[in-house]
Amino acid sequence: MATTTTAPKLKTHVGERIRRTEDPRLITGAACYLDDITRPGMLHAAVLRSPYAAARINSISIEDALALPGVKAVYVGKDVESVGGVPCAGSMPDLRIPNHKILAGDRVYYVGHPVAAVVATDKYIAADAIERIEVDYEPTELVSDPEEALQEGAVKVHPEYPDNVAFTFSQEGGDVEEAFRQADVIVKEKILVPRLAPIPIETRGVVAEYDEGSQELTIYSSTQIPHLLRTQLALQLNMPEHHVRVIAPEVGGGFGSKCNVWAEEALAAFVAMELKQPVKWVESRRESILVVAHGRAHVDTLELAAKNDGTLLGLKLHILCDIGAHHQLLTPIIPTLAVLMLPGLYKFRSFKADLIGAFTNRAPSDLYRGAGRPEATYVIERMVDKLAAEIGMDPAEIRFKNFPASTDFPFNSATGLQYDSGDYATAFNKALDIVDYKARRAEQEAARAEGRLYGIGISTYGEICAFGPSPATPAGGWESASVNVEATGKVAVMTGISPHGQGEETSFAQLTADALGIPMDDIVVVHGDTAKVHYGIGTFGSRGISIGGSALHLALQDVVAKATKYAAHMMGVDAETVTFEGGVFSSEATDSTLTLADVALEAHLCRQLPPGTEPGLAATRFFEPSNFAFPFGAHICVTEVDKETGEVDIQRFVAVDDCGRIINPLLVEGQIHGGIAQGLGPAFQEGVIYDDEGQLLNGTLMDYSIPKARNMPWIETDRTETPSPVNPLGTKGVGEAGTIGSLPAFVNSVVDALSPLGIEHIDIPMTSQSIWNAIHERSRT
């Protein structure tokens, strides 16, 4: 009698807290970052940058630099005119795109504008030679402040655009004027969202190498988007794409700053082709803070109309975005995301937004972690709190009142987005329970009775992720994945996303291990090389798991279907009768089993398979979602402000985040923790400072203050899981959540603490000094 044996069920991987398979090589120093790369005969480049925010270049003298032993070449603007400009993907009808050359022509427009490049046998000679270049600058009038830039008679950043308007964008939904007529209460505020420097631990860098024989250009770049960079470089250099190979080595953080196409990338490529020698350029930290597109840079003016019972009616918004002197890849698109996400998690009936991008004599601004959504969430969460204070309603209650119900999904926002799924009240209630909201309010009352400044700040945030449907994205919203079961039974996964800290080598191996029933050790995840992975878009906008992972999911299904067919043939049974579990194909009818490795070997040897069977066991699939995914959550921050010093003590920080289905909770928590740090930094200390001459005044990490470990609170995380219906994994994305949710929770908490003094708003960064000043202005009057 045949006995049924069940293959021992392997441990499942999806949903488990599995440590990152990337970490051993990172911790032991075995990883290869951009600056670890050397090529035979490699030269080193350095870039000379303008010290002026606006100047004419009368002449450049390079003789002294060329005379320095070891210097191979010096390039100025006119030498690289054949190279196409830095691309911009915006598409507003009135978008103005000034010619963004890779080296300045006869004018410079911002401090840090690249003016010349030196190529030498080592980086120290290159740096010394830079100092020997004599540039005769003739400083011209300039405008540094974005509000001044839009005033009549302001200095023109680009003489061809007399009003400094780079683009405009408007959106309207519902009857906003009627909403304001019906309102019992209207609250207004002007809120500044300062420029932020992205500060990846690894700065930008490029190695370019050209093979004259094959005419192949290989670009190693510390990038988030190797495939898009390949296309853009091919266009800039007028080469066929198949002659350009882009490799993203280990990338030490990006936060959006490497989701760009930079002048230095094309410059290095041009130099390598000119000199027929490999060349490396690695950015210094000073250059990074000075010119790597800053994020945010908004001046927002808001008006919110509501009923006395807290019902939100309408919202008017004016965004002035300081875009700097030039566009980078996504500069005009980022503030439109802020417009789209401004209604947050609330059922607004009407909405009107005007966005204006202003040219200034400052470095370009572009995406930084969250890209538009932190700006939106910060201002709407401030406004809702301000309204609650105005009508004397609890800030938790006003939020519950305006959430759509979990049965309202898909929910159409006032800006025309369709939020895929959500259960806002459950996540919020969980956060309130963890912090014990009622007890905190009681504690606040007791503290106030003693004259102490104790605050509870709430932020219920929404997020747009998993970019995205192609028609709504500038460069294609799909992603590719290939699965190849090798003859030995080991599996290679090729993905078009380009992780740089997110840990997808781990999470993709988890998905693969479960789908194929094999150990994670048998799986290698390949990414970041256009020669190994032929198609891809890259990693940004929390698209790794949801889009790249979904493509992988489809490819894995194909592989399993193929292998099941082959196994059935090998066992002489119908494919429908074969079960696949734990990496083993079994047929009850014949009481036989085959492992995935058995089938993979046969698929390569093709000895038993029917003639005409395609050899190998591989599949490639693309995935494009029907919609974005919309994660959400609630952050609550409890603070006490020292009246004497303005110092803020964060006593509790609770983050309940819902990013859909979770593949690896450990990675999710890592994203939340890092995200919160990058949200809290600008809340209390970060921000790029320009003076009225367009000079950046805090250009080192001694001056530009990112949060240190001692500034961070203990973070209490929890989650709810509301699957997304727009991708087969049900995931939503978590790359930006912490950054988006944390900033308003902190600010609302401090304003709540200070509210007994009549303080309604303090702009960020809320330094101890600005808080102290606000306290003392109040006590003087």
Partner 1 sequence: MTLKGTYKLPARRQKVWDALLDPGVLARTLPGCKSLEAVGPDEYRMNMALAISSLKGVFEGKVRIEDQQPPESYRLTVQGRGKIGFVNGGGSFRLRESEGAETEIEYQGDVKAGGTIASVGQRLMNMTSKMMIKRFFTALEKELTPPV
Residue nearer to partner 1 on the CB measure, 23 or 692: 692
* Token couple for 323: 């875009």
CA separation for the pair 546, 525 (Å, rounded): 16
Residue nearer to partner 1 on the CB measure, 292 or 696: 696
CA separation for the pair 261, 102 (Å, rounded): 11
Provide, rounded to whole angstroms, the least separation between the CB of residue 21 and partner 1.
Answer: 40
Among 491, 696, 743, 750, binds partner 1 (CB under 8 A): 696
Residue range at the interface with partner 1 (CB under 8 A); choices 393-401, 546-554, 624-632, 697-705: 697-705
Instruction: Convert residues 1-40 into a mask of x (bound to partner 1 by CB under 8 A) and - (unbound).
Output: ----------------------------------------
406: amino acid identity, one letter: S
DSSP 673: H
Provide, rounded to whole angstroms, the least separation between the CB of residue 765 and partner 1.
Answer: 16
CA separation for the pair 315, 379 (Å, rounded): 11
Q: Is 702 exposed, middle or buried (0-12, 13-18, 19+ CB in 10 A)?
A: exposed
Instruction: Convert residues 36-75 into a mask of x (bound to partner 1 by CB under 8 A) and - (unbound).
Output: --------------xxxx----------------------
Among 171, 406, 698, 711, binds partner 1 (CB under 8 A): 698
Provide, rounded to whole angstroms, the least separation between the CB of residue 132 and partner 1.
Answer: 9
Phi then psi for 203, rounded to 5 degrees? -75, 180
Residue nearer to partner 1 on the CB measure, 361 or 639: 361
Provide, rounded to whole angstroms, the least separation between the CB of residue 362 and partner 1.
Answer: 12
* Token couple for 701: 């990490």
The number of helices, as runs of H, and strands, as runs of E, in the chain is 19, 28
- 180 near partner 1, judged by CB under 8 A: no
Q: Is 687 exposed, middle or buried (0-12, 13-18, 19+ CB in 10 A)?
A: buried
- Please, which residues bridge with residue 556 across strands? none
Spatial neighbors of 656 by CB under 8 A, at least 6 apart, are 427, 428, 430, 431, 434, 633, 634, 635, 717, 718, 719, 720
Please check whether residue 731 is in contact with residue 545, taking contact to mean a CB–CB distance below 8 angstroms: yes
Number of residues that bind partner 1 (CB under 8 A): 19
Q: Comparing C-alpha atoms, which of 526, 487, 435, 757 is closest to residue 616? A: 487
Provide, rounded to whole angstroms, the least separation between the CB of residue 289 and partner 1.
Answer: 7
Chain centre to alpha carbon of residue 446: 42
Q: Comparing C-alpha atoms, which of 70, 80, 75, 77 is closest to residue 128? A: 70
Residue nearer to partner 1 on the CB measure, 286 or 761: 286
Residue nearer to partner 1 on the CB measure, 201 or 702: 702
Backbone conformation region of residue 490, classed left if phi is above 0, alpha if psi is from -120 to 50, else beta: beta
Please check whether residue 27 is in contact with residue 198, taking contact to mean a CB–CB distance below 8 angstroms: no
Residue nearer to partner 1 on the CB measure, 126 or 696: 696
Residue nearer to partner 1 on the CB measure, 50 or 506: 50
Residue nearer to partner 1 on the CB measure, 442 or 689: 689
Spatial neighbors of 121 by CB under 8 A, at least 6 apart, are 43, 44, 70, 72
Provide, rounded to whole angstroms, the least separation between the CB of residue 696 and partner 1.
Answer: 5
Provide, rounded to whole angstroms, the least separation between the CB of residue 59 and partner 1.
Answer: 14
Please check whether residue 429 is in contact with residue 438, taking contact to mean a CB–CB distance below 8 angstroms: no
- DSSP for 257-310, please give it: TTSS--HHHHHHHHHHHHHTS-EEEE--HHHHHHHS-BEEEEEEEEEEEE-TTS
Residue nearer to partner 1 on the CB measure, 62 or 111: 111
Among 111, 207, 267, 305, binds partner 1 (CB under 8 A): 111
Provide, rounded to whole angstroms, the least separation between the CB of residue 128 and partner 1.
Answer: 10
Locus of tokens 């919309």: 630
Residue nearer to partner 1 on the CB measure, 361 or 415: 361
| Strand, helix or coil for residue 154 | coil
* Token couple for 171: 């959106």
Residue nearer to partner 1 on the CB measure, 2 or 702: 702
Please check whether residue 653 is in contact with residue 741, taking contact to mean a CB–CB distance below 8 angstroms: no
Instruction: Convert residues 131-170 into a mask of x (bound to partner 1 by CB under 8 A) and - (unbound).
Output: x---------------------------------------
Provide, rounded to whole angstroms, the least separation between the CB of residue 51 and partner 1.
Answer: 3
Residue nearer to partner 1 on the CB measure, 199 or 306: 199
Among 697, 763, 773, 778, binds partner 1 (CB under 8 A): 697
Q: Is 58 exposed, middle or buried (0-12, 13-18, 19+ CB in 10 A)?
A: exposed
Provide, rounded to whole angstroms, the least separation between the CB of residue 368 and partner 1.
Answer: 19
Residue nearer to partner 1 on the CB measure, 52 or 467: 52
Among 614, 703, 763, 777, binds partner 1 (CB under 8 A): 703
Among 471, 702, 709, 779, binds partner 1 (CB under 8 A): 702
What kind and span of H or E run contains 191?
strand 185-196
Residue nearer to partner 1 on the CB measure, 693 or 721: 693
Among 418, 695, 705, 768, binds partner 1 (CB under 8 A): 695
Provide, rounded to whole angstroms, the least separation between the CB of residue 50 and partner 1.
Answer: 8
Provide, rounded to whole angstroms, the least separation between the CB of residue 65 and partner 1.
Answer: 12
Rg (the chain; Cα; Å): 28
Provide, rounded to whole angstroms, the least separation between the CB of residue 549 and partner 1.
Answer: 41
Q: How many CB atoms lie within 10 A of CB 78?
A: 11
| Segment 674 to 693, residues that bind partner 1, using CB under 8 A | 691, 693
| Segment 255 to 294, residues that bind partner 1, using CB under 8 A | 286, 289-290
CA separation for the pair 470, 538 (Å, rounded): 14
Residue nearer to partner 1 on the CB measure, 129 or 342: 129
Provide, rounded to whole angstroms, the least separation between the CB of residue 695 and partner 1.
Answer: 4
Among 699, 707, 713, 735, binds partner 1 (CB under 8 A): 699
Residue nearer to partner 1 on the CB measure, 53 or 663: 53
| Strand, helix or coil for residue 622 | strand
Q: Comparing C-alpha atoms, which of 230, 217, 319 is closest to residue 269? A: 217
CA separation for the pair 233, 102 (Å, rounded): 12
* Token couple for 346: 């609330």
Residue nearer to partner 1 on the CB measure, 605 or 697: 697
Residue nearer to partner 1 on the CB measure, 286 or 307: 286
| Strand, helix or coil for residue 40 | coil
- DSSP for 411-442, please give it: EE-TTS-EE----HHHHHHHHHHHHTHHHHHH
Spatial neighbors of 602 by CB under 8 A, at least 6 apart, are 566, 570, 608, 609
Provide, rounded to whole angstroms, the least separation between the CB of residue 106 and partner 1.
Answer: 19
Provide, rounded to whole angstroms, the least separation between the CB of residue 202 and partner 1.
Answer: 21
Provide, rounded to whole angstroms, the least separation between the CB of residue 747 and partner 1.
Answer: 26
Residue range at the interface with partner 1 (CB under 8 A); choices 1-9, 556-564, 696-704, 735-743: 696-704
DSSP 444: H
Residues contributing to the site for partner 1 (CB under 8 A): 50-53, 111, 131, 286, 289-290, 691, 693, 695-700, 702-703
